[in-house]
């Protein structure tokens, strides 16, 4: 899909999304303005959109996290949008499959569940700010993750007992995703 079409699709999805959290709604308005300025890929500049995926167990008690090589912390799966990704949601699911090694993920919805704009440290090269769009996928109950070249490790964690070394604000972000998921089901 040409980038203009992906931008239009993301803008349409963000417009249709009615977040359960009013703070997410306010941030969504900023996203709509940012996304309207151009490309979604990292070639756009130091600030760009990324796609992430919160992979959950069917009972929503466990979340699959990867130990991020550059950041040296546990975080949801995700990454940059590639030219072959038809949508940001498709990019999130592709990244989750690649990084988690579970091929049989099921997208919970094609609308976002979460957005998070965050600055990055010096170890991230030319990337300065990620405008992350978070989606949710459900893994089979017997899924066994396998790390990729991008992750030092992947593992299931109880949603109420996350590892100590997650990014600041991550527990609240995950809690918001779970509230958003519950509001749709």
**Domain ranges within the chain, ordered by starting residue:** 3-184
Classify residue 8 as left (phi > 0), alpha (psi -120 to 50) or beta.
alpha
Rg (CA), the chain: 15
CATH placement of domain 3-184? 3.90.79.10
- 47-56 and 129-138: which strand pairing? parallel
pLDDT in tens, 16-40: 999 999 999 999 999 999 888 766 7
* Stated pTM of the model: 0.91
Residue 14: predicted pLDDT = 96
Residue 1 pLDDT exceeds 90: no
CB 107 within 8 A of CB 19: no
Higher pLDDT, 184 or 120: 184
């Amino acid at each position: 899909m040409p980038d203009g079409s992906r931008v239009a699709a993301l803008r349409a999805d963000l417009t249709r999304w009615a977040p359960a959290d009013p703070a997410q709604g306010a941030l969504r308005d900023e996203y709509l303005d940012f996304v309207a300025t151009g490309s979604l890929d990292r070639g756009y500049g130091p600030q760009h959109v990324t796609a992430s995926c919160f992979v959950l167990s069917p009972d929503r008690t466990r979340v699959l996290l990867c130990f991020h090589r550059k950041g040296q912390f546990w975080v949801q799966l995700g990454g940059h949008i590639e030219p072959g990704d038809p949508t940001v949601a498709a990019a999130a699911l592709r990244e989750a499959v690649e990084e988690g090694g579970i091929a049989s993920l099921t997208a919970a919805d094609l609308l976002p569940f979460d957005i998070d704009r965050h600055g990055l440290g010096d170890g991230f090269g030319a990337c300065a700010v990620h405008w992350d769009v978070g989606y949710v996928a459900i893994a089979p109950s017997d899924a066994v993750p396998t790390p990729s070249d991008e992750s030092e490790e992947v593992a299931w964690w109880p949603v109420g007992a996350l590892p100590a070394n997650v990014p600041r604000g991550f527990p609240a972000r995950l809690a918001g995703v779970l509230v958003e998921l519950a509001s749709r089901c």
